[in-house]
Each structure stands twice: as structure tokens, then as C-alpha cells.
Structure 1
Amino acid sequence: MTNPTAAALIERSNRLGADPKNTNYAGGNTSAKGTETDPVTGQPVELMWVKGSGGDLGTLKEQGLAVLRLDRMRALVDVYPGLEREDEMVAAFDYCLHGKGGAAPSIDTAMHGLVDAAHVDHLHPDSGIAIATAADGEALTTKIFGDKVVWVPWRRPGFQLGLDIAAIKAKNPQAIGTILGGHGITAWGDTSEEAEANSLWIIDTAAAYIEANGKADPFGGVRAGFEALPEAERRERAAALAGTIRGIASTDKPMVGHFTDSDVVLDFLASDRAPELAALGTSCPDHFLRTKVKPLILDLPVTASADEQIARLHELHSEYRADYQAYYDAHATSESPAIRGADPLIVLVPGIGMFSYGANKQTARVAGEFYVNAINVMRGAEALSTYSPISDAEKFDIEYWALEEAKLQRMPKPKSHQGRIAFVTGAASGIGKAIATRLAAEGACVVIADLDLEKAKAAAAELGNTDVAIGVAANVADADAIQAALNDAVLAFGGVDLVVNNAGLSLSKPLLETTEKDWDLQHDVMAKGSFLVSKAAARVLIDQKLGGDIIYISSKNSVFAGPNNIAYSATKADQAHQVRLLAVELGEFGIRVNGINPDGVVRGSGIFASGWGANRAATYGVAEEDLGQFYANRTILKREVVPENVADAVYVLTGPELSRTTGLHIPVDSGVAAAFLR
């Protein structure tokens, strides 16, 4: 059973974390002190429950709390070796854990344990960080809050910062909290309700003061030619640039992307002072650990063509990499971790919006959210004073902190398809849905493209939230519809790496009963449709310069002459040869093109359910319900082929094991001798 004190802490944390004005995603931490009966001695023991490392306040649950004994926590003061060795104290926290301890204690644990208050909140509100990053933040703190809130000069999070805040609390009994220079706020209270109220009072008071006393135009006027484009034009240009920008961000390692064109971003990019302020970088450690110390910002007006923008982005990328290398070289020591990559994680394009990147979609999205936080912070600081973030040296000490490196090393090994973006046609049911499901399970972001938008959205929702999968409408026989679907894909995830041409249908008829309409319909969907999808996707794949995969779900009928099947088999043969042709043409770009030839997949198949199954059963003289077993009985292995078997083949073909394979067709037919490839 959850301790009542811990339960109240979780409720408070969830309320604070649910409102972005209070703190950013996964930012800040909260704590509560109370007692429990020690199961060994049977005596009461003082404990502290505190949000553990890497958790998020808005979604915090009991397992996300670290539980420590306060007597042991306070005893660490007597063995603290000093500022030069304070990182050693993080390992010491493990010896303060109570019972199984819960989550791993974070670097901020000392801030909570050493402050003499029953309840403590440490948060990263935009309004609070605006004061914390103002050049005269200390004077503003006194002016805004009087003696209720005390200024704490910037210090890297750690044991010493905990001692500093504890001393301030002891020296200022009237105070309810602090502004942490360059960082955020900390507040406390005797009860959970009081701590929460004090946190909100600091946040709201800072926001109200900025609103009432700040300059109306802290970013200056509007730069002529840098205003936001109309929405439709803006998003079309963003999609056209997305592949190039993702390639830039993925030079050192592949990244997933996120696009934001909110008014906050567009207004900032249209302002006179955007280039100057962006160059100063972010300040709060939570921000720049996700966004890098500063963004790459395009310096061309919206009247520039896409080709001009792309050329300039490549030039700016070379400059960015050189600048980041210089930053690393200037501050690294012999003990610093190796450089982690010199590519930007935030790319700002005036008139268009912001592209943010991370190892997965959630990380990319959150990076964008953090840069919006940074814009808000800059606005608030400039409204009252001058934005003055911590120095590059201090940023480097955080970014390449040994404790941050250890956290990165503890992260689980990525799955085989993590960071890859899959676009699967006809994926709302049957084989396509099985493929999408398998790829998502292996870590890919998945775009479920289907003629039926509602079914596509429903299938995507089954795989997870929009950080995992989205559903888009796609009539593969319509070039404009395909382009629109791919635009949605690249704006959702940054680009595309893996395309599966799966959409299909079939009409089982002999030659004399096959109409021209029957022929055109099947060729439009499968032969023409695969061609159009591959053509549109290839543009993105080539722009990214990351290689990629195109998979055709063909059929054993592409090589097997079955009865009453002229239109379907002919179009499958067309698809099969597209594989060979595109493998040759796209190979120079590192794009692999392969095909899969299933036999009749009856179970879960939309094609078979729509009448094809009944026609094929009649052709072979068997009951429709026995068709799957009929197909199995005529194979060498005597085993039915199901959608998941095809999905397995896609997984293998697009995984790391067959990285040197292209132009291949893999039979997934349980062995049909007449369809053996020759």
C-alpha cells in the first residue's frame, strides 16, 4: 500500500507537471518527508520520497519515486569531500535507500534532502527562468518577490547546491523559495498543499510582473521578408525541405524529426533580434541537454527558393559543425567524454517553422517543446532586462558531465529499427497491418497509409500514440494524394527510411471475362501505384542521403501462371520487375529495393475478404473456408501463410543482417515449386 505522504506527493507532482507553465516535460523534481515503520526494528524511521532520475512529474507513479532514509542522507554532510569531488555523492545516495529503494536517485536529491522543509518542489517554469537568466536577475528577484524569494547564483546541480539552498532556508525563515540563477526555481512548505501553493505563487507572480512591466516588443520589430508564409504554402515548403534538413541533423547518427510552426516560433523567427538571441543559446540545463547549446538558423528571407534555401542550409551546416567542434575543443579536458556529434538538434527556418531532432520521435518532439520554452524565457528576460544565459564553459560542464555520460551509457540498447521511419501502404488491415505492427515493435515510427483514413487512424492508434504511428489517407493511384500523404509523413517524423508497397486488390477472372476496367483498376493500384509511391519517396530518400529501403509486396503469381488471373498476375509481374529496375537505379544512393512473393494469404486478408477468396475457391473447387488449407496442402511445407510471415520477411530484409542485399525477391509461400525463382 502506498504511504499517504508518498500518495500526496504523487498527486501534487501530477498537478504541477500537467501544466506546461510550471515545468517542462521530465523537468524538475518534487519531494516529501515522512515516517514509516522500519520492518527490521519495528521503530519509526524518517524517510524522503523524491522523484527519481529521468522521470516526468506529470505522469509520475509510485515506481518513479526514490525512497531514502533521512538519517543517512543527512549524515552525508559529514563525509562530503568538497566541490571538486561532489559527483561522488551521487553514488553515496544508493547507500541511503530504504528497502528496495524505488527509482534511481537523481543529482537533485541533495537539494531535497538537506533543505529543512517537509515538502520541496524544484521546477523549470518559463517565467521563473526568465528572471533567472536576466542580467540583473538578483535585483529583479528582490524587486518582484521582496524577501519571500531569495536569489541563488548559478551553480551546477549537485550536493553543494543542496547545501547552499539549505543554508539560505535556515538564514531566511520568512522565505518560501529561491530563484536559481540560470536554472529555475525551488520552493518549499510544511505541508504538501503549502509547497504547491508557494511554487505556484512564485511562478504566477513572475509571469504577472513580466506581463505588467515588460517591453511590448522584446524581440524588436518584424524583419521584412521573414514573416510567416500562409499555412498551406508554409507546410508544403517545410515538407520539401524536411529530407535535406533531416540529413543535415543525421550526419553523425540517424535522427527522427518533428516539425513545429506555432505562432510562438514563427513570431520569434520573424523578429529583428532572432539571429542575435538564437546565437546566445539556451540556459536551463534541461533545455540545452535536449536542444544543444544553440540552434542552426537559416538567414534567408521567405522569398528565397527551396533550392537556394537548401544550398544555404548546407553551408550553414558546415559552419555549425566547425563552431561546435571549436566549442568542444575549447572546453574539453583529457577526462571529458568524446564529442557526441556536431550536428544541430534544432533547425530554424524563418517563415516556415522549427525542425527538432532526437533519437526517437518523443525525444525530437520534446526538444522542440524545450526550444519553445527557451523562446519564452528569452522573451521574458528581454522584456525586463537583458537575456544573459550561463557561459559556454558552464554549459559544456553540464553537457559533457560524467554523470550525464553515465546516464547515457545506462540507456537500453536500441531495437533494430529504432530511428527508422516506415511508410506502409494498404496498412489498415491484413498484410500491411501486420508489417506496420512488426516494424513498430522493432522501434520504427510507422505511417499507416490507406485509402480509408478512419481505418488508417484506428490501426495507428492500436500501435500507440502519435510518437509511434500516424494514419494518413493515400489513394496510391493518385500522384497528388501520394505526395500529400508523404508530406504528412515527413512533417510528422522528419522524413522516411523504409517504404512498403503493399496496397493491392484483385479480381479473379479468366481472360474473356476480364474487362478493360478490371485491367486498368488493378494496374492503377499495384503497378502504377507502386511506381508513384516509389518515385515520391525516392525524392525524400535521396535528399536525406541516409540510404533506405523500398519493399514491394509482390506475389508468387509474378512468376507462377495460375488460372483465371490474367490482370492480377500481370500487374504483380510488373511490380516484380520494378524491384530489379529500381535496385539498379537507386543503388548509388544507398537505397535497397527488394521484393516479397507471398502465396495466398487468406487469414486476415482484406483482398480475400472482399470476394477474391470466394472466386479463387470456386476456381479450385473448394469451400471458401477451406481455401487457406487448400493453399497449404499444395506447398512443400504444407503450412498456411499468414500476414505475420510476410511481416517477418520485411523485418529481415530491412534490418541490419541483410544490409548488402538488393534486387532480391524472397518467396514466402511455404514452398511452391512452380514459383521457384530461376
Structure 2
Amino acid sequence: MSLSPAAALIARSNRLGKNPKNTNYAGGNTSAKGSAVDPVTGEPVELLWVKGSGGDLGTLEESGLAVLRMDRVRQLAGAYAGIDREDEMVDALAYCLHGAGGAAPSIDTAMHGLVDAAHVDHLHPDSGIAIATAVDGEALTRTIFGERVLWVPWRRPGFQLGLDIAELQRAHPNAVGTILGGHGITAWGATSDEAERNSQWIIDTAERYIEANGSPAPFGAERPGYAPLPEPERRARAAALAPSIRGIASSERTMVGHFTDSPAVLEFLASEKAPRLAALGTSCPDHFLRTKVRPLLLDLPATATLPEQLARLDELHSEYREAYRAYYDEHRTQDSPAMRGADPLIVLVPGVGMFSYGANKQTARVAGEFYLNAINVMRGAEALSTYAPISDAEKFRIEYWALEEAKLQRLPKPKSHQGRIAFVTGAASGIGRATATRLAAEGACVVIADLDLAAAERVAAELGGPDVAIGVAANVADPLAVRAAIDTAVLAFGGIDLVVNNAGLSLSKPLLDTTEHDWDLQHNVMAKGSFLVSQAAAAVLIAQRLGGDIVYISSKNSVFAGPNNIAYSATKADQAHQVRLLAVELGEHGIRVNGINPDGVVRGSGIFASGWGANRAATYGIAEKDLGQFYANRTILGREVVPENVADAVFVLTGPELSRTTGLHVPVDSGVAAAFLR
């Protein structure tokens, strides 16, 4: 049974999009033409199914398609008023839509509608863009493909580009596709399979030609002193640099980071051509819309010291912002949107790797993937010829295009904690897990730090995986383990904004039964542990220069003297005073330090499940199953405290509403009068 045009299109798109050598994430678009019955007239109608704006080929579903009537799409050619009225055609496409729902038509819809083929693919393969960005790309296209693939000089995507390709296709009926100067490829076919074969043939043929005919050293010789550092040293240096670099990328708005030290990145950064090529910037619009027109490249060898690198990065950041402002001022028009930010999104450190940034982890990771695509493009172009991207003027026209601005304005309003990175200890169960879950739901990236690595990784997977959360092993009583966990967090997300000291245990014993080992264990995990975590995290927070939050999950027992609880209550009092001390010390850096004093949280608690609950129940002479209700009955509100109540308090304390609050202890105990703060 043959697939419908839309089903065949989705299957083809998924196959093409899942192979990174064919196109980048969310890059390119595909289409199919075919007939369907018009539900109004009952007559057949010719339709165009095309990937809509903002979708990704590898994960495309039917809801991501725009569906248009071909008779109306063809009639748009008569309504086209010329290149100066190009943007109006995007609005006109809305009047060609068939039926309700579906995605908004993208700027490339005209290309798909006007090309006289049932199936069309527009892709951004590295090998194709390498040919498209070579200074002699037109001649290379003829040499590599003969008459089967045509050269289209650079033109901004839109209706005129669709007309250009359609005219070339009519003049060359044996052609199967085009190389789009500076941009990518377009291929077509009478069937979905034929279009896919033609796309794959263009990509593979370009790749094979580069391999067979390209220079073995496209980036030139390795610069002395710029070779990659050994991996342990490289990762340690990356972790030391990351907070300061994130601060550079976030001077106007807080960004999440991603780190890459792949061989391709390190090879590029070590090469003699890296400074020239990095300064030229990227070419494909999909690339520079996510990476900015060029990266910030540290111009020091890998052998430079950390203080030297940090000082130079600050200087280069100032120079980068001035250069970006000059780029904006030179090319802006009266109608240009306001400048969106002058900080770099890609920071390259020779010998160490690439730091990429975005509003969230996925965006930051994809930005890095796009710059890696750009490196591959440069490699291919330099192997055969000379890399020659589109001009800054053309880049500006796309970066500050009214249509791109409209797309940005349609993005949903960010959640309260978007762009923030939370490090939560003891986060595999109970209060820690509830807190991590709440923060992730509010847009934060979360590090699930726990003694039980397997449990931490399970929770991270449940919260959405590495673009949302990661699990790390964290023995908070071990300074080396704490440092390693913090470094892992920094390399995963770029830094830390929010720390929740929640890890704990409890030994319910009277004074005469409490051993020195009991005392040391209790204090090592909670008093010493929260000190070590706060100390390591504060170094990151200060280096970022973005402020931040440290929250201690203390206890009502920090102020309430309960029976048979000497070690636990004393260490909670220690934590409570750490809040006050750190609030005073860290305030000059914009770091707020607050505490939360819960009553006994029985439900979902790892502490209560591990024997503490049985001990406390025995102390009060009740059954363990009744302990939660027992705690509730002795409160003013008469309600049990559950992990989510504590998580709510963390959310409020670290949100924008309490931005002027530090040194506070918030009771979450349903009202225990004896624990009122005085």
C-alpha cells in the first residue's frame, strides 16, 4: 500500500533529518504536492504539504506541516511586486492555506511551491555548504556535478529565490537540484524516493569530491603552543574558565552554556587559519542566527595561565561588544529592530574547546552544533578553494529581518526560572527531589546531586534528560567529591545560579546514647557538607558576576528543642547560622542566602524511611504510620507538611518576587508556636 503524499513526506523528512551530515537541527525544509478532496466542494484539489516554520526534519510530524492550495500559490506570482516588497509575500501565504491547524508557512514555502516537481528538499549539508561558500563555488559546481546540479548565486530566502530556482529548472530540465550560493542545496524529484535519492546524491558527491581532491591540511599548520591540552588538564581548565565565560555571554541576559572539546573543534583552534576564518564568521543563515555572525576567539596559546586567559577574555569581551555595535550601526536602517544584544554566543579557547550559549540548554547545545557545522564547512571550502561567506551586510539583513523579529516575538514568555541552573543536594528523594522537580517545571536546568548516583540519574531522566537535568554523585562530606560534582555541573550547563543544601541524615538518640561517631557523621553530612557545597558553589557564583541564590533546608529543630535529638538539632542550628553568616559575606556579590525550616516531612522522605521515622515514633509513643498525622495535629494549621510544600518555598525564595530578601528563615511547618522565630 503506497503512502499518502503527507505520510511519504514525513517519512522522507525524518530519514534525512536524523542524519547530521544531511542537515542541521531545525534546518532546511521539505515538501510534497498531491491531491485531496476538498470537504466543501467534494472535488479534488491540488495541495502542497511543506515543513512549517520552526520545525525539525528529524522529528517532523503531521502537525508540523503547512498545507496550502497550489492554485493560489501559483497565482501569487502575479501578485508579486518585486524584491522590495518581498516580505509581503509571507503574509500572502496565509491566504493560500487549506483547512485549519498545521504550522505557519516558512519563508522557503515559495521555493517549494514554484519549483515544478512533486517533491522538493531544501537542506543544509556541510559538504554542500562547503561548495556554496567557496570563492569559486560556481565553477566547482560545474566541475563536480556537470549539468545535473545548477548554481544559484546568493539571494536571501524568499519569493524571488523561488522564482529564480523555478526559472533555472525550466531552462535545464535534466537538472536534479541546485547549490545555493552561501547557503545550502535544493533537490527535487517526481516521487518522494527520487527526491530523497537526488538530495543524498548531491550531498554524497560533494563529500566524496572534497575527500578525493581536497588539501590534507585545509586549516594549515598547527600553531606552536596551541595544541590541545591533555584531557584531564583540558577539562579542569574548561571548568575553571566556564563561570567567567558564562558571565561574559550573560552581561545583558542570563544564558545557559554548553561545552564541547571534540577533535574537530580542537583541531580548528590549533590551526594557523583559525583567527582568519573565525573573523570571517559563518555563512548559512541557520548557522549565524544561532551563533551570531562571528565567535569570540581567545588569542592566547593553550599554555597561557588561567589568570592570563581570564584577563584577556575580559578585554576581548569589551572589544567584541564594540565591534558588534559597529556592525549594527553600519548596517541598520530606519526600520531595523533594536539591537538584541552584543555578547558572544560562541567563545573559542585554543587547547580547551568551545563554549556555546543560549536561552536554555537545548539552544546552547544546538548553537555549538551549528558552529561545528560551520567549522566543517570552512574545512571543506578551504580544502578545495578559499572560504568566502556572504557579506556582513547580507548577514545583517537576515539577522535583523522583520520576519525574524516577528518569529522571536511569537516565542512564549519565559518561565520564572528559565536560564537559571540549580544544584540540589540529596535530590534523588524527598524534599530534594520535589525541589528539583519544581525548579525544572519553572524552566531551570537542574543538577540532581546525590550519594546514590543511579537514583540521581533516574530522577534526571524523568525530568527530561540532559537538556533539562543531569545526575551526579555527591558525597557532600568529601571536599574532592563536592568539587568534582560542581565541575560536572559547570561543564554541563555553563555555571550555577541556585544552590539548595538539602542533603542530610538523622540519628534520633538521647544524649547518653549519642556516640562521638554519631555526632561526627551528623555534622559531617549537614554542617560540614553544606559548608563545602556553599564554598565551592560561591566561587562559581562570584566568578560569573550574575548574583545567585543559596538556600539551606534547615529545620524547625534549629530553634525548637525536641527530645532525644541532640546531634541532629545541633547541626541544624549550625546550618541556620551559616545562612546568616553567608548572607552578610556574599551580599556584595548579589548572592542571596536564605533558609527554610520545615517540620517533620514524613512522606517520600529518605531520612524517615531509613529508621529516623521509627525512632521518632517510638519517642512519641505512636505507630510509625501515624507519624505524619501526629506532626500535623500539633501544629496551628493542623496540616501535614509534604516535600512539595518545601519545594514551593524554594521556588518563591529564588524567584523574582523576593529579589530583595536575604538572611531569612521561612518556616514551612504548618505553624509550630515553639519554633516561631524571635
TM normalised by structure 2 equals 0.99
- Following superposition of structure 1 onto structure 2, how do residues 11-160 of structure 1 map, counting pairs within 5 Å? 11-160=11-160
Aligned CA distance change for structure 1 residues 623 and 299 (closer, same or farther; 3 Å): same
Contact 1:336 1:402 in 2 (8 A): yes
Q: Which residue of 1 aligns with 2:305?
A: 305
Is residue 201 of structure 1 aligned with residue 192 of structure 2?
Answer: no
> For residues 269 and 398 of structure 2, what CA distance do their matches in structure 1 show?
27
Moved more, 296-305 or 10-19: 296-305
Q: Which residue of 1 aligns with 2:624?
A: 624
1:264 is aligned with what amino acid? A
> For residues 584 and 600 of structure 1, what CA distance do their matches in structure 2 show?
29
Contact 1:37 1:43 in 2 (8 A): yes
> For residues 65 and 232 of structure 2, what CA distance do their matches in structure 1 show?
45
Contact 1:638 1:670 in 2 (8 A): yes
> For residues 303 and 380 of structure 1, what CA distance do their matches in structure 2 show?
29
Q: What whole-Å deviation, never above 9, does each CA across 1:506-564 have from its counterpart, x for those lacking one?
A: 00000000000000001000000000000000000000000000000000000000000
- Following superposition of structure 1 onto structure 2, how do residues 520-669 of structure 1 map, counting pairs within 5 Å? 520-669=520-669
> For residues 323 and 78 of structure 1, what CA distance do their matches in structure 2 show?
43
> For residues 101 and 8 of structure 2, what CA distance do their matches in structure 1 show?
18
CA drift of 1:304 comes to 1.0
Q: Which residue of 2 aligns with 1:326?
A: 326
Q: What whole-Å deviation, never above 9, does each CA across 1:459-487 have from its counterpart, x for those lacking one?
A: 10110020000000000001110010011
Contact 1:49 1:65 in 2 (8 A): yes
Structure 2 SS opposite 1:99: coil
Q: Which residue of 2 aligns with 1:499?
A: 499
> For residues 446 and 73 of structure 2, what CA distance do their matches in structure 1 show?
46
Contact 1:68 1:101 in 2 (8 A): no
CA drift of 1:274 comes to 0.5
Q: What whole-Å deviation, never above 9, does each CA across 1:410-448 have from its counterpart, x for those lacking one?
A: 000000000000000000001000000000000000000
2:203 is aligned with what amino acid? I
2:595 is aligned with what amino acid? G
Q: Which residue of 1 aligns with 2:421?
A: 421
Q: Which residue of 2 aligns with 1:261?
A: 261
1:237 is aligned with what amino acid? R
CA drift of 1:302 comes to 1.5
Contact 1:270 1:351 in 2 (8 A): yes
> For residues 180 and 139 of structure 2, what CA distance do their matches in structure 1 show?
13
Contact 2:346 2:357 in 1 (8 A): yes
2:568 is aligned with what amino acid? Y
> For residues 334 and 480 of structure 1, what CA distance do their matches in structure 2 show?
56
> For residues 224 and 651 of structure 2, what CA distance do their matches in structure 1 show?
50
> For residues 168 and 613 of structure 1, what CA distance do their matches in structure 2 show?
78
Q: Which residue of 1 aligns with 2:233?
A: 233
Structure 2 SS opposite 1:619: helix
Q: What whole-Å deviation, never above 9, does each CA across 1:159-193 have from its counterpart, x for those lacking one?
A: 00000011111111010000000000000000000
Contact 2:550 2:594 in 1 (8 A): yes
Q: What whole-Å deviation, never above 9, does each CA across 1:15-36 have from its counterpart, x for those lacking one?
A: 0000000000000000000000
Structure 2 SS opposite 1:58: helix
> For residues 505 and 300 of structure 2, what CA distance do their matches in structure 1 show?
47
Q: Which 4+ runs in 1 deviate beyond 6 A?
A: none
- Following superposition of structure 1 onto structure 2, how do residues 236-247 of structure 1 map, counting pairs within 5 Å? 236-247=236-247
> For residues 267 and 169 of structure 2, what CA distance do their matches in structure 1 show?
40
> For residues 545 and 663 of structure 1, what CA distance do their matches in structure 2 show?
20
Q: Which residue of 2 aligns with 1:224?
A: 224
> For residues 261 and 668 of structure 2, what CA distance do their matches in structure 1 show?
44
1:329 is aligned with what amino acid? D
CA drift of 1:103 comes to 0.4
Is residue 462 of structure 1 aligned with residue 462 of structure 2?
Answer: yes
Q: What whole-Å deviation, never above 9, does each CA across 1:389-428 have from its counterpart, x for those lacking one?
A: 0000000000000000000000000000000000000000
Q: What whole-Å deviation, never above 9, does each CA across 1:19-77 have from its counterpart, x for those lacking one?
A: 00000000000000000000000000000100000000000001000000000111111
> For residues 24 and 3 of structure 1, what CA distance do their matches in structure 2 show?
26
> For residues 298 and 18 of structure 1, what CA distance do their matches in structure 2 show?
33
> For residues 649 and 84 of structure 1, what CA distance do their matches in structure 2 show?
55
Q: What whole-Å deviation, never above 9, does each CA across 1:585-637 have from its counterpart, x for those lacking one?
A: 00000000000000000000000000000000000000000000000000000
1:651 is aligned with what amino acid? F
Contact 2:457 2:471 in 1 (8 A): yes
Structure 1 SS opposite 2:240: helix
> For residues 401 and 241 of structure 2, what CA distance do their matches in structure 1 show?
34
CA drift of 1:355 comes to 0.1
2:565 is aligned with what amino acid? N
Q: What whole-Å deviation, never above 9, does each CA across 1:308-366 have from its counterpart, x for those lacking one?
A: 10000000000000000000000001110000000000000000000000000000000
CA drift of 1:101 comes to 4.5
> For residues 128 and 574 of structure 1, what CA distance do their matches in structure 2 show?
63
Structure 2 SS opposite 1:667: strand
2:342 is aligned with what amino acid? A
Identity %: 82
Q: Which residue of 2 aligns with 1:392?
A: 392
Moved more, 94-103 or 46-55: 94-103
Q: What whole-Å deviation, never above 9, does each CA across 1:266-285 have from its counterpart, x for those lacking one?
A: 00001111111100000000
> For residues 598 and 345 of structure 2, what CA distance do their matches in structure 1 show?
41
> For residues 101 and 110 of structure 2, what CA distance do their matches in structure 1 show?
16
Q: What whole-Å deviation, never above 9, does each CA across 1:240-271 have from its counterpart, x for those lacking one?
A: 00000000000111100000000000000011
Contact 1:67 1:101 in 2 (8 A): no
CA drift of 1:4 comes to 1.1
- Following superposition of structure 1 onto structure 2, how do residues 440-519 of structure 1 map, counting pairs within 5 Å? 440-519=440-519
Contact 1:69 1:97 in 2 (8 A): yes
CA drift of 1:3 comes to 7.4
> For residues 641 and 217 of structure 1, what CA distance do their matches in structure 2 show?
65
Contact 1:256 1:419 in 2 (8 A): yes
Contact 1:361 1:493 in 2 (8 A): yes
Q: What whole-Å deviation, never above 9, does each CA across 1:200-258 have from its counterpart, x for those lacking one?
A: 00000000000000001110011110000111110000000000000000011110000
Is residue 168 of structure 1 aligned with residue 168 of structure 2?
Answer: yes
> For residues 39 and 300 of structure 1, what CA distance do their matches in structure 2 show?
66
> For residues 68 and 102 of structure 2, what CA distance do their matches in structure 1 show?
9
Structure 2 SS opposite 1:98: coil
> For residues 407 and 456 of structure 1, what CA distance do their matches in structure 2 show?
37
Q: Which residue of 2 aligns with 1:430?
A: 430
Is residue 273 of structure 1 aligned with residue 268 of structure 2?
Answer: no
> For residues 165 and 653 of structure 2, what CA distance do their matches in structure 1 show?
56
What is the CA RMSD across the aligned residues, in angstroms?
0.7
> For residues 325 and 464 of structure 1, what CA distance do their matches in structure 2 show?
37
Contact 1:31 1:51 in 2 (8 A): yes
> For residues 101 and 583 of structure 2, what CA distance do their matches in structure 1 show?
55
TM normalised by structure 1 equals 0.99
CA drift of 1:81 comes to 1.1
Q: What whole-Å deviation, never above 9, does each CA across 1:557-592 have from its counterpart, x for those lacking one?
A: 000000000000000000000000000000000000
1:147 is aligned with what amino acid? E
Contact 1:260 1:355 in 2 (8 A): yes
CA drift of 1:375 comes to 0.3
1:349 is aligned with what amino acid? V
Structure 2 SS opposite 1:246: helix
1:324 is aligned with what amino acid? Y
Contact 2:558 2:569 in 1 (8 A): yes
Q: Which residue of 1 aligns with 2:672?
A: 672
CA drift of 1:301 comes to 1.0
1:40 is aligned with what amino acid? V
